Amino acid sequence: MFTTAVINKFKSTPTPFYYYDLDVLKQTLQKVKSESSKYNFIVHYALKANANNEVLEIVRANGIGADCVSGNEVKKAVECKFGRSHIVFAGVGKSDEEINYALDSDIFCFNCESKEELEIINGLANAKNKTASIALRINPNVNANTHKYITTGLEENKFGINLWELDDVVKLLETLSNIKLIGLHFHIGSQITDMSSFKSLCLRVNEIQGWFVSHKIHIENVNVGGGLGVDYHDPDNHMIPDFETYFKLFHDFLELRPGQKVHFELGRAIVAQCGTLVSKVLYIKKGVNTNFAILDAGMTELMRPALYQAYHKIENLTAIADEKWEKENGSESSFMQKYDVVGPICESSDCFGKAVNLPETSRGDIVVLRTAGAYGEVMSNGYNLRDKVKAVYS
C-alpha cells in the first residue's frame, strides 16, 4: 500500500528503480529481534539477498550478524562494520584468495562443504600460523518443498557433506591441526512456506547430534540456515513474516545440549517486503490473444520470474491513484483488463506475468512489482548493456 506522496515520488523519479521502505525493514528487524531473543537465538543476515549499503547499515545497527557466500561479501560485511566475530562464510566453491581474506579478517566461522575444502583451509591457515574455526555443513537430506532451483538440502544437490561421509570427515579432522570444529551447519532451501519442512530439519538435526554425541564430539554451535518464506501474493496483509511461529518451532523441536547456541541465516524474510521494483509503461501493444504491457524494467532488473517462474504481485499505481480520485469525486472507475506484463529485453522469458488483471493501463503509468527486496537488485545484471538499476529510499 503506497501513500499518495510516495506515488508522486515514483512519478517524478526516472524509472526503473528499486524503492526501499526503510520503516518496513526496521519493523521487520524489530520483530526478528524480539522473537529470536526469547530463546537467545543468534541471527545472521544473508547478504546474498540484498547487499545494498543502506539496507546493510540498518541490519547491522540492529545487532545482527552476517552470512556471506563470497570473499566480496565478507569484505562488504567487514566494511559495513559487522562484528568480525559475527561473520560466517559459506559456499561450495571458496577460492584460496577468498579463504585467505577471511582468515586475515578473523571471521567467526567457515561453513565447510567438503573434505577437500577442509584440507585446503587447514593448509592455508597453517601457512598463516592461524587456526580456522569451522562448522561442517551437513546435507540433511530433508525436502524443503520449494522450487527445485532453490532446494539445497537433498542428497542430489551439490551442497554440504553427506551423512555417509561423516565417519571419514571426523577421522580427517583429527589430522588437521589448524582447524577447530565449532559447529554444525544446515540449510535446506529458500522460500519455505511449509513449516513442517523446518520441523523435519529439527528432527534430522537431533539425530545427527546424537551421532556426534556417540562419537564423543562436542558441538558448540548449531546453525540451521535460513529459508523462511514470505507472502508474494498478499504483501500488504503479511508485511512481516511469521517469525513468532518460526523461532518457536526450532525452540520446541531442537534438542539442544547444555550451552549450545543456535544460529540462523535469514535473508529473504528480512528484506523481501521492504523492496519494490518501480517502472513505467512504455507501450501497450495489441497481441493476437492478449495485450502486452511493455515496461521499462525487465529481467535484467528482476530476474526471479524468468529464472524460477516466480510470482511478484504487479500493480498499476497510476490507475489505482486515479481510481481513488474518481471514486472520491463521483465519476466512473476504470475497468479491469488482462495484460501480459513484459520487459524490454530480447528474450521471450522476459515476462513478469501472463494474463495479469490490471485496471486499464496506458503509456506512462507507474507499474510496480512488489516483494522485490530480496534477490532483486543483487541479481540484476547488464545484459543488453542495460544501465545499473538505481535505488531510492523512503
Cell numbers placing 171: 577421522
What would the grid cell of residue 364 be?
A: 506512462
Name 266's Cβ contacts closer than 8 Å, sequence gap at least 6.
32, 43, 44, 45, 46, 226, 228
312 binds ligand LLP (CB under 6 A): no
Other CB atoms closer than 10 Å to residue 182's CB: what's the count?
18
353 versus 359: smaller Cβ distance to ligand LLP: 353
Q: Does 375 bind ligand LLP (CB under 6 A)?
A: yes
| Only segment of 28-36, 77-85, 207-215, 261-269 that touches ligand LLP (CB under 6 A) | 261-269
Distance between CA atoms of 385 and 365, rounded to whole angstroms? 25
CA nearest 102: which of 134, 128, 75, 83? 75
* DSSP at 335: -
Q: Which span sits near ligand LLP by CB under 6 A: 6-14, 28-36, 95-103, 264-272?
A: 264-272
210-235 burial: b if 16+ Cβ within 10 Å, else e: eebeeeeeebebbbbbbbbbbbbeeb
- What part of residues 183-242 is at the interface with ligand LLP (CB under 6 A)? 187, 190-191, 225-228
Which C-beta is closer to ligand LLP: that of 272 or that of 294? 272
Least Å from the CB of residue 67 to ligand LLP = 6
Within 45-105, residue ranges assigned H as helices are 53-61, 71-79, 96-104
User: By rule CB under 6 A, what count of residues binds ligand LLP?
Assistant: 22
Nearer to ligand LLP, 197 or 361 (CB): 197
Of 21, 35, 265, 315, which one interacts with ligand LLP (CB under 6 A)? 265
Stretch 46-85: interaction string toward ligand LLP, x if CB under 6 A? x-xx-----------------x------------------
What is the distance between the alpha carbons of residues 107 and 83, in angstroms, rounded to a whole number?
9
Query: Residue 295: enclosing H or E segment and its boundaries?
Result: strand 291-295
Q: Any contact of residue 369 with ligand LLP (CB under 6 A)?
A: no
Residue with Cβ nearer ligand LLP (198 or 375): 375
The alpha-carbon radius of gyration of the chain (Å, integer) is: 23
3-state secondary structure of 174: helix
Q: Per-residue contact track with ligand LLP, 118 to 157, x per CB under 6 A?
A: --------------------------------x-x-----
| Closer of 7 and 368 to ligand LLP (Cβ) | 368
Q: Is 276 exposed, middle or buried (0-12, 13-18, 19+ CB in 10 A)?
A: buried
Residue 376: CB minimum distance to ligand LLP, A: 8
Spatial CA neighbour of 251 closest among 222, 231, 275, 220:
222
**Shortest Å distance, C-beta 356 to ligand LLP:** 20
Shortest Å distance, C-beta 374 to ligand LLP: 6
* CB nearer ligand LLP, residue 304 or residue 313: 304
Footprint of ligand LLP on this chain (CB under 6 A)?
46, 48-49, 67, 90, 150, 152, 187, 190-191, 225-228, 265-269, 304, 308, 375
